[in-house]
């Protein structure tokens, strides 16, 4: 199993550009989520999905869109990049979004917006 994979690993954008961060998992997990990690802020939840076709907002959803057309994939779209979106983005998955299911994390995407 590859686990949770993310592409690209690094990305530099100019303000106003859009892009999609890719996330895929091969563990048949129902629950997937996106976090951003900023120094001193821990991980903050952006969006999450409890299954194909179902998504919801997390703590910091503004400026980001998601969709979940398949169980495996959960892309994160930046609509119009801003310097405040410079961060490290992590995708995670688990067999359930409730209970004691631990999440498995991808290696992250380091995004810089200039």
Partner 1 sequence: AQSVAQPEDQVNVAEGNPLTVKCTYSVSGNPYLFWYVQYPNRGLQFLLKYITGDNLVKGSYGFEAEFNKSQTSFHLKKPSALVSDSALYFCAVRDRDQAGTALIFGKGTTLSVSS
What's the CA gap between 64 and 48, in Å, rounded? 12
Q: By the 8 A CB rule, do 85 and 113 touch?
A: yes
Stretch that binds partner 1, among 13-21, 64-72, 76-84, 95-103 (CB under 8 A): 95-103
Start-to-end CA distance of the chain, whole Å, equals 36
Q: What is the contact mask toward partner 1 in residues 17 to 46, using x (rule: CB under 8 A)?
A: ----------------x-x----xxxxxx-
Which residue's entry shows tokens 């959803």?
Answer: 61
> By C-beta, is 17 or 101 nearer to partner 1?
101
Does the footprint of partner 1 cover residue 4 (CB under 8 A)? yes
Q: What is the contact mask toward partner 1 in residues 51 to 70, using x (rule: CB under 8 A)?
A: -------xx-----------
| Residue 80 preceded by cis peptide, ω within 30 | no
Does the footprint of partner 1 cover residue 105 (CB under 8 A)? yes
Site size for partner 1 (CB under 8 A):
26
Does the footprint of partner 1 cover residue 2 (CB under 8 A)? no
Q: List the one residue out of 68, 86, 69, 73 whose CA is nearest residue 17.
A: 86
Write down the least CB distance from residue 12 to partner 1, Å.
17
Does the footprint of partner 1 cover residue 99 (CB under 8 A)? yes
| Residue 62 preceded by cis peptide, ω within 30 | no
């Amino acid at each position: 199993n590859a686990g949770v994979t993310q592409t690209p690993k690094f990305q530099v954008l100019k303000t106003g550009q859009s892009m999609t961060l890719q996330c895929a998992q091969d563990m048949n997990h129902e629950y997937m989520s996106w976090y951003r990690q900023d120094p001193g802020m821990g991980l903050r939840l952006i969006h999450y999905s409890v299954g194909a076709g179902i998504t919801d907002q997390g703590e910091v959803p503004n400026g980001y869109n998601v969709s979940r057309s398949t169980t495996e994939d959960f892309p994160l779209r930046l609509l119009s990049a801003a310097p405040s979106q410079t961060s490290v983005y992590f995708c995670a998955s688990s067999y359930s979004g409730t209970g004691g299911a631990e999440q498995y994390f991808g290696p992250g995407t380091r995004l810089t917006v200039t």
